[in-house]
Amino acid sequence: MNKQDLVAVVAEAGDISKAKAGEVVDAIFAAVEETLKTNGGEVRLVGFGTFSTSKRKAGKGRNPRTGEEIKIPASTTVRFKAGKALKDAVN
């Protein structure tokens, strides 16, 4: 499923136009993104899962083509942990 498929499902389930459903989906994504950007926030959707941020330390790696050692900078990554209801629905 891609974003357009999601918009179509939301439009049908909410009995709204696809344009309005697209705005809703975009607003949800923007809210999740903004929360995660500010102070390493966390978004908990009970029954679905939790989005959170995690820090990665700087490290060293190797270029597989040349074998040359490279520095990998520290970064922040997004994590998702599925909730129990989602796990149960999938299994």
Domain ranges of the chain: 1-38, 42-91
Calpha distance 79→88 (Å, rounded): 20
Report if pTM > 0.95. Answer: no
* pLDDT attached to residue 40: 73
Q: Assess if CATH 1.20.1090.10 describes domain 42-91.
A: no
Calpha distance 64→51 (Å, rounded): 32
How confident is the chain (91 residues) per 10-residue block, as mean pLDDT?
95 94 95 88 92 94 93 94 94 90
